Chain A
Amino acid sequence: MRGFFKKLRNGLQKTREQLVGQISEVVTGTPQFDDELFEEIEEVLIASDCGLETAAHLTGRLREVCEERKTMKATEVVEIIKEQMIVMLNGGSAPVDAVIDVTPKVYLFVGVNGTGKTTSIGKIGEHFRSAGKSVLFAACDTFRAAAREQLQIWADRSGADLVSGDDGSDPAAVAFDAVNAAKARGRDVVLIDTAGRLHTKHNLMEELKKISRAVDKALPGAPHETLLVLDATTGQNGVSQAESFGDAVGLTGLILTKLDGTAKGGIILGIRQRFGVPVSWIGVGEKIDDLETFDSREFIEALFA
């Protein structure tokens, strides 16, 4: 599924022309850049879940540029805002490098219920395996029914080892054992699956901290990456999720899943702006190779598609 956005973009060329067409009408219809134009652009941003604050920030900057330049074609206006958004997405830290610089390299996956943590682990496991790395999965969702069985199937598919505990057992203990097992067996990568949890539940967030600490105990400095798995259909609550998970365990990256639907995932702009957390991977389907690294330009193009 490489070049997902490119495909999407070509497929949606028509709607894009429509949009630009609309905007250009506004510009040529009135001598100045009036409110209607900015409202139009704001609507595109809002419809993509960018949120009011981010939208206002972007259109505000755009307004300044437009006023300076006096006249501009509609397509130019759109290009300017796209550039602004790309700059926004590239600020903060760089995306997680898939390069394995420590062994084992430990990745912790966190997020609210049903966003795609387990599936993403399956895909990323396959990604590393096909790069010639040995992978171990830690089944630290000991809460949800059949969570371990689900991860076991992904382990079988991607040829990864699985370390698990009994249902209801302490997830921190499973994580600790898994990292030690990876060290003993000389595995290159450890991917830790955790139970989905709402970020507002204090006890569950404490449990997550404990998992992270246990991993650090088994291997000082680990987890090396802590990734928030975010569903692209998520609205403004995404900011709250990033904030709470970030406060609890510190995020190094995001995985934006389900981009194969019609949701645009614009919430990542606000998250990047506020917390500087970059997107590392995107999920574009349910199959094992429906995973891509994030490309901010392609993403923004799709937003305007």
Chain B
Amino acid sequence: MFDSLGDRLDGVFKSLRGQGRLSEENIKDALKEVRRAFLEADVNYKVAKKFVAGVTEESLGEKVLTSVTPGQLIIKIVHDKLVELLGGQSRELAYNPRGITVWMMVGLQGSGKTTGCAKLGLRAKRAGRKPLLVAADIYRPAAKDQLRVLGKALDIPVFTTDDDAVRIAGQGLAYAKENEIDLVILDTAGRLHIDEELMGELQQMKKAVRPTEIMFVADAMTGQDAVKSADAFHQALGIDGVMLTKIDGDARGGAALSILEVTGRPIKFLGIGEKPADLEVFHPSRLASRILGMGDVVTLVEKAQAAVDTKKAIELEKKLRKAQFTFEDFYDQLQQVKQMGSLESIISMIPGVGKALKGLPIDDHALVRIEAMIQSMTLQERRTPSIISGSRRARIAKGSGNSIQDVNKLIKQFGDMQKMMKKLGKMGPKALSGFKFPM
């Protein structure tokens, strides 16, 4: 719903073109846009103000004033500064070198602690640890059941009793000692940071189990209030790290910056889905891009690198630019795309495109149908789509179990796509708006 900062800054500077040198006033206007981007990303307004003040000086430097692309330079300054703030590099959870490691999960209601326990448990198990999940949420109905079910599915033991939360935690640790477990992941009930009684309970639990890490679990969709809750949890417990959950949606995740500002503690993990494997180590530059509304290009590139053959990719790019892209190439692409994950998740990472295509049914089944149609084409047809006549279309439809209309649609959209690609080669990313996948 929001324009990317890049587009905005382009707008600011475009209106100045032809007026000669930029003035300090122009730069200040641009920085207002940076602030606006931050607020739209849910960065706390005080934090945003401070940040913008911090980059103002640098932006007023000679470099920006004389740059031919001041917008991009400002973005770079802001992005770099964000990356620096967000931690520079990703960090792992700490293990206790002498004895049992205890990770304690804390946070507001509904932030994703229980799922987070399962995710960390699975990750540790895969790394060769022997984890135990301890269910100490005695308040929310069926919270213990939830952890039990998750543990069972992952084949990770779950400990709980009918005692109070502090005692369950202590008993869990004792159980771990007796059963040669080296990692205890402690689930706690969600609570409000202003609930003194329940915050006191957490402090007692901390005393009882002396956690190696206290992980604050926060929802990526959180707004301005993030500073208050994070601050209160940190004051009461001294958190060690943050897990930012539900980042697989379209929230820009600016709350992360607010949390960092008030706690000084690094974001360590991102929750990227509902399944136990949907956990990712935090990468500052990706979140920085996201906060600035620039899409998650790095992840996309990484995923693509993992799936795509570089030589082929270079060839393909050439073809794309010349619009010599054939059904054969397209089929190849489909195979590679399939290795990268669901179409939806890939598209959501492309800056600008996610928004343009939002609401369009991007259905992986459609891919399967397209695949079948291409498979029913002869090699020649794939290479020279223009020869696909009416009778050939009928054959392809029959062979792939689709209607002739489907085949017509595919061929027409493929033609459109080629034209679009041709334009794209000349015009850059803006041409993507209005672009439709052939499906």
Contacts and interface: CB of A to CB of B under 8 A. Distances in A.
Interface of A: 43, 46-49, 51-52, 112-116, 143-147, 149-150, 152-154, 198-203, 206, 231-240, 243-244, 247, 258, 260-264, 267, 286
Given A145-B145, A231-B110, A262-B228, A237 B192 contact: no
Interface in B250-295: 250-252, 254-255, 274
Contacts of B363: 202-203
Contacts of A150: 140-143, 145-146
Contacts of B229: 233, 261-262
B109 A200 contact: no
Nearest to A264: B225
Given A200-B250, A261-B194, A236 B142 contact: no
Nearest to B43: A235
Interface string B38-65: 0111100100000000000000000000
Given A145-B147, A233-B229, 8 more contacts: A52-B36, A113-B110, A116-B110, A198-B249, A199-B250, A231-B221, A234-B221, A260-B192
Given A115-B110, A198-B248, A235-B255, A49 B225 contact: yes
Contacts of B334: none
Given A49-B224, A199-B249, A261-B193, A233 B108 contact: yes
Contacts of A153: 141-142
Residue among A154, A243, A262 with the highest chain B CB neighbour number at 10 A = A262
15 contacts: A49-B224, A52-B40, A112-B246, A113-B246, A114-B219, A115-B110, A116-B110, A146-B143, A150-B142, A233-B223, A235-B42, A236-B40, A236-B252, A263-B228, A286-B109
B222 interface: yes
A209 B109 CA distance: 27
A52 B194 CA distance: 27
Residue among A46, A235, A244 with the highest chain B CB neighbour number at 10 A = A235
Given A46-B45, A146-B146, A237 B249 contact: yes
B359 interface: yes
B274 A113 contact: yes
A258 to B, nearest CB: 7
B428 interface: no
Interface string B360-402: 0111000000000000000000000000000000000000000
Contacts of A143: 274
Nearest to B220: A237
Contacts of A199: 249-250
A47 B36 CA distance: 14
Interface string B217-237: 001011111101100000000
Contacts, number: 151
B150 interface: yes
A215 to B, nearest CB: 22
A49 to B, nearest CB: 4
B223 A154 contact: no
Contacts of A145: 145-147, 149-150, 153
A24 B243 CA distance: 42
Contacts of B359: 244, 247
B222 A234 contact: yes
B112 to A, nearest CB: 6
A144 B146 contact: yes
A260 B142 CA distance: 22
Contacts of B223: 49, 233-236, 238, 263, 267
Contacts of A144: 146, 274
